[in-house]
Structure 1
Amino acid sequence: DAPGRLQDLINKLGGMDLYLHCSGYGRINPDLDPSIDTKVVQTNITGFVVMANYAFRFFKEQNRGHLAAITSIAGRRGTGLNAAYSSSKRFQMAYLSSLAQLSHNGKYNVRITDIQPGSVKTDFLQHSYPMMMKTPYVAGKIVRGLCKGKRFIVIDWRYRIVACVWHMIPHWIWERINLQAFVSW
């Protein structure tokens, strides 16, 4: 019961001003193994919705708060090697956008931040990727962005460029790009 544990922590600390959702699961899965994709959906969508909703309702009741979630630059476009992961991160991005709209229109005073890192050198990544960033660098960027109340945090200027370029690539070209060429096996 994760929401219950969060509430216990809130009670113990005497309140909550910031909820940072940092939970995710993903595996390269070009064979579309349903056991892998189901775990991705359970963690990255179901678990995310349960916790984000709990935090949002808490902040709405106290009429202030900051809900932030680490999504992924991978959520910007579907990737065949990890279709469930990139799709689940896209879902999180859209959900955060929906919560931001709900907060604004309801005048709930709940700030929303979508944190979109690229490849971060952690145990989560099983392979080496281009432009991998070290955890302390990424953590510093996240903290600075949260302190400034940013709506979006894309870690590192290189990933901002990647995101812009990806957005400009037509679907018929994107779907022909072999992303496996960028992964070191």
Structure 2
Amino acid sequence: MPSVLITGASSGLGEGMAREFAARGYQLALCARRTERLETLRDELKTSYPSLTVSVRELDVNNHPQVFEVFEAFRAEFGSLDRIIVNAGIGKGQPLGTGNFEANRQTAETNFVAALAQMEAAMVIFRAQNRGHLVTVSSVSAIRGMPSNITTYAGTKAGLAALAEGLRVELRKRRSPIKVTTLYPGYIRTEINAGVKNPPFIVDAQTGCRAMVRAIESERARCYVPGWPWTPIAFVMKIVPESILARLI
């Protein structure tokens, strides 16, 4: 059966995707900082799906050497990795110039620099295998510059999407079999957005993660999830003038 590595798998979208992939028969390589939650998830999934391999490892994605070590350890354990999902992230940003640089720095380092480390580690493995599917979890907030608390968050997710696109262009030029998908989730009810007031078109975690896994399995280059209503919303957001955007968000 195919194998999938998911970072940030102890909660939120990572945990939800792990459940969906397990139901589809994937072998799971799960990593996150909170190992006790990973172990609880592993035990639950093994009870529900006894034939699956579910391996867990501690990983702080801001410890960049550890990212390479953990990814390689999973590869050695599984023999190869079919899919790697760069999912770990935080949403601690604050409006620029309000004395909260530390929160914005942590958001930028975790969501962009640490994501770069994960992409590097994944591509080392995939280039050696000459196959694989790299998935990066961006956000619909990456489509345009966003105000206030999500300015930095949106900027990091836009940067992540640009990294993935550049990699896709390179792989296409080289006619490589390696695939790269960028996911742009809308509002999905998880811990990271628990404090957001009245988020539009929010869906529950199971609905959102199921849509994400379907999008991943399609191996399309870019996927807005859930597709409705975020695909048409994204189209509109790309073309409206800033003056209108400022009134909408």
Q: Same fold (TM over 0.5)?
A: yes
Kept after mapping to 2: 8 A contact 1:73/1:163: yes
1:53-72 deviations in whole A, cap 9, x for unaligned? Answer: 11122112211110001100
Kept after mapping to 1: 8 A contact 2:215/2:225: no
Does 1:56 pair with 2:123?
yes
Distance in 2, matches of 1:137 and 1:64, equals: 30
Structure showing greater relative contact order (alpha-carbon pairs closer than 8 Å, 6 or more residues apart):
1
Q: Which amino acid aligns with 1:101?
A: V
Compute the TM-score of the two structures, normalised by the length of structure 2: 0.68
Kept after mapping to 1: 8 A contact 2:93/2:103: no
1:1-185 matched pairs, under 5 angstroms: 1-30=66-95, 31=98, 33-81=100-148, 82-125=150-193, 126-128=195-197, 129-156=199-226, 157-174=228-245, 176-177=246-247, 179=249
Identity across matched positions, percent: 19
Q: Which amino acid aligns with 2:106?
A: K
Compute the TM-score of the two structures, normalised by the length of structure 1: 0.90
Kept after mapping to 1: 8 A contact 2:67/2:121: no
Kept after mapping to 1: 8 A contact 2:91/2:153: yes
Distance in 1, matches of 2:99 and 2:112, equals: 17
**RMSD of Structure 2 on Structure 1 (CA):** 1.5
Corresponding pairs, count: 178
Q: Which segments of 5 or more consecutive residues in structure 1 lack a partner in the other structure?
A: 180-185
Kept after mapping to 2: 8 A contact 1:67/1:113: yes
After superposing the two structures, state which structure 1 stretch, 165-174 or 18-27, moved more.
165-174
Distance in 1, matches of 2:115 and 2:232, equals: 27
Distance in 1, matches of 2:100 and 2:247, equals: 22
* CA-CA distance at 1:113 after TM superposition: 0.5
1:55-96 deviations in whole A, cap 9, x for unaligned? Answer: 122112211110001100000011112111000000011100
- Secondary structure in structure 1 of the residue aligned to 2:223: strand
Q: Which amino acid aligns with 1:116?
A: Y
Distance in 2, matches of 1:4 and 1:16, equals: 14
1:106-154 deviations in whole A, cap 9, x for unaligned? Answer: 2221100001101110011122312111111112112212222211121
Kept after mapping to 1: 8 A contact 2:187/2:202: yes
Task: Give 4+ residue runs of structure 1 displaced > 4 Å after superposition.
Answer: none
- Secondary structure in structure 1 of the residue aligned to 2:212: helix
Kept after mapping to 1: 8 A contact 2:92/2:106: no
